[in-house]
Amino acid sequence: MDAFYASVELLRYPQLKGLPMVVGGSRRRLEEALAAQGVDVSQPERIALEHFPRLRSYVGRGVITTASYAARAFGIGSAMGLMKAAKLCPDAILLPADFDEYRRCSRAFKGVITDIAPVMEDRGIDEVYIDFTDVPGGQREGGRVLARLIQKSIADATGLSCSLGVAPNKLLAKMASELQKPAGITVLHPNDVQARIWPLAARKINGVGPKADAKLAALGIATIGDVAATPLPTLLQHFGRAYGHWLHESAWGRDDRPVVTHSEPVSISRETTFERDLHARNDRAELGAILTRLCEQLAQDLQRKGYRCRTVGIKLRFDDFQIATRDQTLPVCVQTAAELRAACGQCLKRVDLSRRLRLLGVRAGKLEKSAGEAPHHAPSASALGGPEPATSASASSAVCEPMTLDLFNPPDDSHA
């Protein structure tokens, strides 16, 4: 999908079309903020431009979830800090994310696709792979006819645009889908690899991250063609057997992965970065409320997707950017917010909370399907007790129980 979150927002606020706009920052719904200013929000499409918040007024550590193509022209992109983006385009409009609406639109466009081509692999909220092989007419014009049908059907049903890459395998289809954004269709044949893929930067291979890219650059390898020209033994020497082979095959456009129509998630998580650093003692009520909200959101995710979990974990990022994670494996599977929060409390007892925090996250792992199971009561404190090894320990593992309890439990004024 093309700039998916931003495109969904433009359906609600068409008056912003063509303007630089970013999604990110505070989760408070824009309508609530505008209503608090006395702005009529009953007709979102009629809200005057001067009422929308601008990037220049943002103060905090939030990052951009996505940006409109007009904003991208200023060098703004996903995962960029909002304050950095404000220096590039201070007049860009800032909208908070509305993930409920994004998920609804995601389900809508995927439903359109499966009505046409039912062999679909879900790759997240805004991306899928589709196998055209057995779709009637799927091979006409090398797949371009079916791609146009899918593109038009999505636009008619949802008002959203997408870009499609048609190729013999998933690797090339992914790269092709990026070549003519927005609203493009790119058809790649095997004999197109050298002319159209090799000139691209090596980073364009889906699976080559910043570290691998830096390592390739240190070897004088800049493009996909350079990777293809590098002897396989050299790649194996510097990247290991598995990754080296994969790099070699990818550079030559070879990929035998099938389109997978069903897969089980490994874990489900929720996390939030704070607008300011918080301390377990001084900000215990705020942190406790945040933890409760994250557990409620995670419980809703589990229940919506039909899972219970046997492992519950926390993630903390401190003010020095060090990260600590702790997991708790439970004797029974859990699903409710109260159960998740109780397990998180046990995890927090094994973390030194003397430093200020930038981020808090919760995670559910060892998932099991819950369909048909009767709900059960939360396990007792004794069932939840007992330390488990930390999955990582960037921070000290010293126990600081009084401060942990400050974070986990709201302050009780009666004991002051």
Amino acid in position 2 = D
Distance CA 401, CA 409 (A): 12
Distance CA 400, CA 402 (A): 6
For 138-191, the DSSP string reads TTGGGGHHHHHHHHHHHHHHHS----EEE-SSHHHHHHHHTTT-SS-EEE--GG
Q: Which helix (H) or strand (E) holds 315?
A: strand 307-318
Q: Name 93's bridge partners.
A: 21, 54
Contact call for residues 22 and 52 (beta carbons, < 8 A): no
Catalytic status, residue 339: no
What separation in angstroms does the CA of 129 have from each of 173, 196, 252, 259? 8, 21, 20, 7
For 6-48, the DSSP string reads HHHHHHH-GGGTTS-EEEES--S-HHHHHHHTT---SSGGG--
Q: Strands 164-166, 185-187: parallel, antiparallel or unpaired by DSSP? A: parallel
Choice among 31, 127, 286, 296 that is catalytic: 127
Catalytic residues, which ones? 127
